[in-house]
């Protein structure tokens, strides 16, 4: 019996051929970087201004204005970047990702249901290349701090991002 997992074709050929084995483990194999290991955590504390791009394909995903120090050990954002994309699909509508799975469009991110590890979560991936970014957590009370529509915590593996300082 073959127990290997079929990896979607889009994820076998990365745009960025310089990704490390650890970056591939997180972005393609849906791994997680060690908590408190991302160099971007200092940006949360120092309010460093800039933009965060997918390390694989350079798609704009987040802006520092939406980043906050959640204390979780991974870079956290309350909203994805509202950058323009070319899909023609509105946010909140279903869209089929590059992996062939159906998810919900969220600017340049696609949200997929994730029931791995025996819990219901929402996985977030780059809309352009389907690289795994992390998960969204809701209902944690962040909306009380940031205002209506900003209650989500996008918990992102910093290893899947590039940062461009303003």
Catalytic residues: 155
Rg (the chain; Cα; Å) = 15
Q: Strand, helix or coil at 164?
A: strand
Q: Which positions ≥6 away from 41 have C-beta within 8 Å? A: 69, 73, 74, 75, 158
Nearest Cα residue to 11 out of 161, 135, 158, 131: 131
Tokens of 140: 């944690």
Tell me the C-alpha distance between 19 and 109, whole Å: 20
Q: Are 148 and 30 in contact (CB under 8 A)?
A: no
């Amino acid at each position: 019996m073959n127990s290997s997992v079929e990896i979607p074709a889009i994820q076998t050929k990365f745009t960025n051929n310089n990704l490390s084995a650890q970056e591939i483990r997180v972005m393609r194999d849906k791994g997680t970087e060690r908590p408190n290991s991302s160099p971007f955590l200092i940006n949360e504390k120092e309010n460093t201004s800039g933009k965060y791009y997918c390390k694989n394909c350079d798609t704009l995903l987040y802006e520092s204005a939406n980043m906050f120090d959640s204390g979780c050990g991974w870079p956290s954002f309350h909203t994805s970047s509202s950058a323009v994309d070319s899909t023609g699909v509105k946010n909140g509508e279903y869209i089929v990702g590059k992996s062939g799975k159906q998810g919900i469009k969220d600017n340049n991110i696609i949200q997929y249901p994730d029931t791995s590890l025996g819990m219901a979560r929402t996985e977030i991936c780059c809309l352009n290349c389907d690289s795994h970014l992390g998960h969204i957590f809701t209902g944690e009370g962040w909306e009380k701090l940031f205002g209506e529509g900003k209650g989500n915590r996008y918990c992102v593996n910093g290893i899947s991002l590039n940062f461009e300082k303003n």
